[in-house]
A and B are shown apart, each in its own frame.
Chain A
Amino acid sequence: MSAAHDALGHLMAWADWRSLAVLRRNALVYFRNWKTAFLPPAMEPVVFFLAFGLGLSGYVGGLDWEGERLSYTAFVAPGLIAYTAFGTPYYEALYSAYVRMFFQKTWDGILATQVELPHLVWGEVLWAAARGFMNTAIVCLVLAAFDAAGMVELHTAQLLWMPPLAFLAGLAFAAFALIFTALVPAIDHMNYPVFLLGIPLSLISNTYFPLETERPWLRVLIDANPLYHLAETCRWLLVRGEPGPHLGPLALSAGVLLVVSIVAATRLTARRVLG
């Protein structure tokens, strides 16, 4: 009963002023260097789109997707958004949060105030998801420019949905990453969550190429992967102009991942930081 009560408390801490104070602290640091902070997310989709979208599409030609023939650029553009919505919060919560916790001792300073550990965890998760929102918005602007230039054909009005979707899914990805932030003994060990989880997750998600499989175990993994449903929802919105059938599974898989990860990350972080 007490464990369940604690878990509920951890989940509800998101709305507390203390979680927002941690979010504000990270945002202040980020916006102080906004020029350099905004450049990489703007350049990354340009490079990816030019290299993979335009470069590869000459070789790949078109792709069959949901009974429709698509250009590779139209296929990969939503995937680029989904990967940004995944990668930004995931890596923010892995690397940047680890640096704040382990090297800078920022968390120790904050925890000596009225801020408690669940607020700190939520503050980090909210901030990582907010970064996902911003980077996704930048990618959307770049894609809108490509659309205007006739390099890809998308329902550009639907781009407005992408940053909020990225924020909501990003909460789950960030919370999941914080579990490893609490677990890895040294920053070198971050390779495990990156190469054993981050990259495989992005490969079984229909981001850069369509995945068709008859293997039941792989099908289960794909169906449980929120990134897959996010990529497909983005694709339905941008290609067909409607949410499609993946929105419900996205809400369910991301919701479950968020709840489980927040509780686990809070407990593991408490063990690591508070002893």
Chain B
Amino acid sequence: MSALLEAEGLTKRYGAETVVAGLDLRCEAGEVLGLLGPNGAGKTTTLRMLYGFATPDAGRIRYEGRDFAELRTELKRVVGVCTQEDTLDYDFDVRQNLRVYASYFRPRVPELAARVDELLEQFGLARFAGMSPHALSGGYKRRLLIARSIVHRPKILFLDEPTTGLDPAARVDVWELTDQLRRAGMGIILTTHYMDEAERLSDRLLVLQKGKQVASGATQDILDELLGDHVLVLPVDDPAREAFEAAVAAQGLSARRVLRELHVPVDAAGLAAIGAALPGTRLTVRPPTLDDLFLALADEEAP
């Protein structure tokens, strides 16, 4: 059985720069695939190729086994796009935003009035139906953007940094809505800068760096693969700092400063060796997180 979305060898160049280099990915129905990576890793370009905003220089995209380049118009009908930017139509009220957006799809959305009412209810927007989107808070605007992107009942939804700029309560709302859509069988491709969000929402992660895949799979598998089993933590003003850094360097590693602490991802053998080199020093050990991964990738990309 074909995946809902399958991309092979996806490549995009802008001038001499290769922004995405031979990327492969899959997304199944009822699955959330999180795309992670520091700024400039190629996440947004990947998304733009997948939903048709940019044309790949090489590679192939298939929805339900059908070639996107050949059946573009037909396959765009199964795709929903919620961009990071607010693209609501402020010339219309909330209800009209849904109705007018539906008019950009064929075959037409069956029983549109009922579909719009259903979405207004599902997304808690019914009481704002006749109001301008200007009257909505950031969280409700985001709800409307997501509702609008699925008004035509797509099978796959692209969510580009859906909670950027939202307060914690609004973020949780968006998480719940995303989870509802996943449980309803929709495939979702998510990009986010919030690691807790990626971890909570994604069934699988795809980590990008400089346009290439550096890891793919469940969160813990990726952390094990890229960072090891543990993160060693030492306060920067600890008297054993120099000895600590020397022991870390002896393992071929380097410590990263995060505020008032030094962090070093290590595997079990590295932990044992550093611990043995620093008898009497109190080291904190904790499991690695996606934040550690994100910082490690950003460090590698820094000039």
In the complex the two chains form, is A21's CB within 8 Å of B103's CB?
yes
Q: Any chain B CB within 8 A of the CB of A67? A: no
Q: Any chain B CB within 8 A of the CB of A113? A: yes
Q: Which residues of A contact B86 (CB under 8 A)?
A: 105
Considering the complex, give the chain B residue whose CB is closest to the CB of A115. B104
In the complex the two chains form, is B103's CB within 8 Å of A25's CB?
yes
Alpha-carbon separation in the docked complex, A105 to B133 (Å): 14
In the complex the two chains form, is B105's CB within 8 Å of A104's CB?
no
Q: Is the interface of A mostly helix, strand, loop or mixed?
A: helix
Q: Which residues of A contact B92 (CB under 8 A)?
A: 28-29
In the complex the two chains form, is B105's CB within 8 Å of A114's CB?
yes
Alpha-carbon separation in the docked complex, A111 to B73 (Å): 12
Which of B87, B103, B148 has a CB less than 8 Å from the CB of A105? B87
Residues 20-42 (chain A) with a chain B CB within 8 angstroms: 21, 24-25, 28-29
In the complex the two chains form, is B104's CB within 8 Å of A274's CB?
no
B46-82 interface bits toward A, Cβ cutoff 8 Å, 1 = contact, 0 = none: 0000010110000000000000000001001100010
Q: Any chain B CB within 8 A of the CB of A242? A: no
In the complex the two chains form, is A113's CB within 8 Å of B104's CB?
yes
Residues 64-117 (chain B) with a chain A CB within 8 angstroms: 73, 76-77, 81, 83, 85-92, 96, 100-101, 103-106
Q: Any chain A CB within 8 A of the CB of B11? A: no
List 6 additional contacts besides A109-B89, A113-B76; criterion CB under 8 Å.
Answer: A21-B104, A105-B85, A108-B87, A113-B81, A113-B105, A275-B14
Q: Any chain B CB within 8 A of the CB of A110? A: yes
Q: How far is the CB of B83 from chain A (nearest CB, A)?
A: 6
Q: Any chain B CB within 8 A of the CB of A220? A: no
Q: Contact residues of A with B, CB < 8 Å?
A: 17-18, 21, 24-25, 28-29, 104-106, 108-116, 274-275
Q: Any chain A CB within 8 A of the CB of B209? A: no
In the complex the two chains form, is A18's CB within 8 Å of B89's CB?
no
Alpha-carbon separation in the docked complex, A83 to B104 (Å): 34
Given A18-B104, A28-B100: A109 and B88 interface contact (C-beta under 8 Å): yes
In the complex the two chains form, is B106's CB within 8 Å of A17's CB?
yes
Which of B53, B77, B91, B103 has a CB less than 8 Å from the CB of A112? B53
Q: Any chain A CB within 8 A of the CB of B149? A: yes
Alpha-carbon separation in the docked complex, A21 to B104 (Å): 6
Considering the complex, give the chain A residue whose CB is closest to the CB of B14. A275
Alpha-carbon separation in the docked complex, A116 to B54 (Å): 11
Considering the complex, give the chain B residue whose CB is closest to the CB of A18. B104
Considering the complex, give the chain B residue whose CB is closest to the CB of A25. B100
Considering the complex, give the chain A residue whose CB is closest to the CB of B99. A28
In the complex the two chains form, is A108's CB within 8 Å of B85's CB?
yes
Given A105-B87, A106-B87, A109-B89: A114 and B106 interface contact (C-beta under 8 Å): yes
Q: Which residues of B contact A21 (CB under 8 A)?
A: 103-104
Which of B14, B77, B101 has a CB less than 8 Å from the CB of A109? B101
B233-268 interface bits toward A, Cβ cutoff 8 Å, 1 = contact, 0 = none: 000000000000000000000000000000000000
Q: Which residues of A contact B101 (CB under 8 A)?
A: 109, 113
Q: Which residues of A contact B89 (CB under 8 A)?
A: 25, 104, 106, 109
In the complex the two chains form, is B88's CB within 8 Å of A275's CB?
no
Q: Which residues of B contact A105 (CB under 8 A)?
A: 85-87
Alpha-carbon separation in the docked complex, A110 to B148 (Å): 11
Alpha-carbon separation in the docked complex, A274 to B53 (Å): 6
Q: Which residues of B contact A109 (CB under 8 A)?
A: 83, 87-89, 101, 148
Alpha-carbon separation in the docked complex, A202 to B90 (Å): 34
Alpha-carbon separation in the docked complex, A109 to B85 (Å): 9
Of the listed residues A106, A109, A274, the one surrounded by the most CB atoms of chain B closer than 10 A to its CB is A109
Considering the complex, give the chain A residue whose CB is closest to the CB of B51. A112
Alpha-carbon separation in the docked complex, A25 to B90 (Å): 12
Given A28-B100, A29-B91, A113-B101: A108 and B83 interface contact (C-beta under 8 Å): yes
Alpha-carbon separation in the docked complex, A24 to B85 (Å): 24
Q: How far is the CB of B56 from chain A (nearest CB, A)?
A: 13
Q: Which residues of A contact B88 (CB under 8 A)?
A: 109
In the complex the two chains form, is B53's CB within 8 Å of A111's CB?
yes
In the complex the two chains form, is A112's CB within 8 Å of B85's CB?
no
In the complex the two chains form, is A112's CB within 8 Å of B106's CB?
no
In the complex the two chains form, is A114's CB within 8 Å of B104's CB?
yes
Q: Which residues of B contact A113 (CB under 8 A)?
A: 76, 81, 101, 104-105, 152
In the complex the two chains form, is B87's CB within 8 Å of A112's CB?
yes
In the complex the two chains form, is B73's CB within 8 Å of A114's CB?
yes
Considering the complex, give the chain B residue whose CB is closest to the CB of A24. B103
22 pairs of residues in contact across A and B, judged by CB atoms under 8 Å: A17-B106, A21-B103, A24-B103, A25-B100, A25-B103, A28-B100, A29-B91, A29-B92, A104-B91, A105-B86, A106-B89, A108-B87, A109-B89, A111-B53, A112-B51, A112-B53, A112-B87, A114-B105, A115-B104, A116-B73, A275-B14, A275-B54
Alpha-carbon separation in the docked complex, A114 to B152 (Å): 11
Of the listed residues A29, A104, A111, A112, the one surrounded by the most CB atoms of chain B closer than 10 A to its CB is A112
Q: Which residues of A contact B73 (CB under 8 A)?
A: 114, 116
Q: Which residues of A contact B149 (CB under 8 A)?
A: 112
Considering the complex, give the chain A residue whose CB is closest to the CB of B77. A114
